[in-house]
Amino acid sequence: MNEKPDIPKKEKKAKGDELIFPLMALAFAIYYLYTIVDLSWEAKINGVLVGSILIFLIAVFLFKTALERWRGKISLKLKTFVFNSSAHLTRVWFLLLAIAYVIMIPWVGFTLTTFGYLVAAMLLLGVRSPVRLFAVSLALSVFGYLFFITLLKTRLPSGPVERLIEWWF
């Protein structure tokens, strides 16, 4: 009997991820062009020129990718953006914490929100020592207050801490 030896198949390079950015850019270009349809030529000429070049470049990129796929050199699987690992989950939570920081800051004020955010983010990233969590977050928040609010006079939202300090001094 003639048995062929098992030749391991060369894995195709997954290039699905690389399509995310151009597709996002394409959607934005279409939206941009849609918003300038009714404007005068002076208001739309730049958008038309830049948008057309962008769409042309994306079309070339998509054509090249389709050609490579058709020739069997690549696959269109997602490699980086598959949310099945704990690292990705951590990143999503990390981003959600940052969003929460932005939402909370007008209500709670800069210093207290920064302190809370730093504690939560460091805890998420694996800092377990309560002393370190508290000390580093406190030191950074105080530094932030002194540098941005006291020294640079940045008009950051005030909360109970800022009001208390203002009242005290």
Partner 1 sequence: MEFTFEFLAQLFMTSLGHWYVIIPAIIIGLVIGAIPGLGPANTLIILLPFTLTLEVNAAMAFMVALYCSARMGAGIPAILVNIPGTAGAAATPFDGYPMTQKGMGQQALTMSFVASAFGGLIASIFSIFSLPLLARVGYYFHSVEMVVVMLFGLTLIAVVSTGNTLKGLIGGFFGLLVGAIGPDFIYSAPRATFGFLELFDGVPVVAALIGIFAISEALLMIEVKSILSEAGKIRMAAQSPWAATWEGVRMSAERWWHIVWTSFIGLGIGVVPGAGAPIAAFVAYQQSRLFSKTPELYGTGHPEGILAPESANNGVTSGSLIPLLTLGIPGGSTAAIMLIVIQFHGIVLGPRIFLDMPKFPYGVLMGMVVTYLFMVGTILPLARYMSRVTLIPTQYLAPAIISFTLVGAFSPRAYIFDMGLALVFGVIGYIARKTGYQVSAILIGIILGPYVERYLMRALRISEGDPMVLFSSKIGNFLWVFLILSLILPPLIERFRKR
The residues of the shown chain that bind partner 1, judged by CB under 8 A, are: 17-18, 20-22, 24-25, 28-29, 31-32, 35-36, 39-47, 49-51, 53-54, 57-58, 60-61, 64, 80-81, 87, 90-91, 94-95, 98-99, 101-102, 105-106, 110, 114, 117-118, 121-122, 125-127, 136, 140, 144, 148, 152-157
Residues 146, 154 contacting (CB under 8 angstroms): no
Q: Which is nearer to partner 1, 49 or 164 (CB)?
A: 49
Min dist CB 75 to partner 1, Å, is 15
At 101, which helix (H) or strand (E)?
A: helix 86-108
Q: Which is nearer to partner 1, 2 or 84 (CB)?
A: 84
- Residue type at 141? S
Min dist CB 90 to partner 1, Å, is 6
Q: Which is nearer to partner 1, 143 or 163 (CB)?
A: 143
DSSP 8-state code for residue 13: E
Min dist CB 165 to partner 1, Å, is 17
Q: Provide the phi-psi class of 153: left if phi over 0, else alpha when psi is between -120 and 50, else beta.
A: left
At 36, which helix (H) or strand (E)?
A: none
Identify any residues that bridge with 75 across adjacent strands, giving them in sequence order.
14
Q: Which is nearer to partner 1, 55 or 165 (CB)?
A: 55
Strands (E), the chain: 13-14, 74-75
